[in-house]
Structure formats: C-alpha cells, structure tokens
Structure 1
Amino acid sequence: MFRRLTEEVYAREQSLKQQLRALQIEIDRTRVRYETEKILQTNYFQELRQNAQALRDELNEG
C-alpha cells in the first residue's frame, strides 16, 4: 500500500515537472516574440534594414 502511494506521488511529481517545463518553454517563446518586436520597431533596426536594401540595390545595378 505504501509503495503504491509512493509511486503515485512520484508519477504526479513527474507530471508536474513536465507541465512546468512546457510552461517555461511557452514563457520563453513569448519573451522572444516580445523582444523581437521591440527590436524590429527601433529606429536603429529600420536604418539597418534600409542600408541593407540600399547595398543590395547597388549590387544588383552594378
């Protein structure tokens, strides 16, 4: 009886650990999306994008 209870507690603990890992992954993905959006909206990034496009245009013309 005690062994069965111990196994159930262990199984529950493993299940909770897996759920925690899944939630952590989701939090990390959300954080990455948020940080990416922040970067994409900066003036610095917009200038880099424009400069890169200008360089590509020059290479295609030459």
Structure 2
Amino acid sequence: MNPTKGMADEKPIRLGTTMADHKALKVVGLLFASITIAVMLTTALVVKGHADGHYSLEASELAE
C-alpha cells in the first residue's frame, strides 16, 4: 500500500489566499486604458486649440 499514491492528482489546499480573475483584470485594464487615452486625446486637443488661439482665458470677449 502506497500512501502517496493519488496525492499528485489532488489540488493543494491554500488557506488565506485569494486568486484574481484574470479575464476580469483584463477587462478592467482595458477600461482604464481607454479612459486614459480619451483624457490624453482631449487634453491634447484643448492645448492645441489654446495654442492656436481658438480658446482664451480672458472673459472680456464675451462681455463686449
């Protein structure tokens, strides 16, 4: 009788550890990446518009 027979097939018991769902982490990563890209693109367009003179921080043009 071999007491170790079949023990290699059993999964080890891990107490106190949690495993992350890799598919969900990819979805969250893609969500954050797409939001980051959208913010960077919007910022670049606003800065370019301000540099070209389309936007002004002065409110005097509206008052006239």
TM-score normalised to structure 1 length: 0.55
Paired position in structure 1 for 2:35 = 25
Higher helix share: 1
Deviation beyond 4 Å, 4+ runs, structure 1: none
Instruction: Give unpaired runs (5+ residues) of structure 1.
Output: 2-7
Evaluate the alpha carbon distance shift between residue 36 and residue 55 of structure 1 in structure 2; reply closer, same or farther with a 3 A threshold: closer
Structure 1 or 2, whichever has the larger Rg, is 2
- The alignment-based identity, stated in percent, is 16
**Unmatched 5+ residue regions in structure 2?**
1-9, 11-18
Root-mean-square deviation (CA), in Å? 3.0
Distance (Å, rounded) in 2 between the aligned partners of 1:12 and 1:55: 52
Q: Report the count of equivalent residues.
A: 46
| Cα separation, 2, equivalents of 1:29 and 1:12 | 26
TM-score scaled by length of structure 2? 0.53
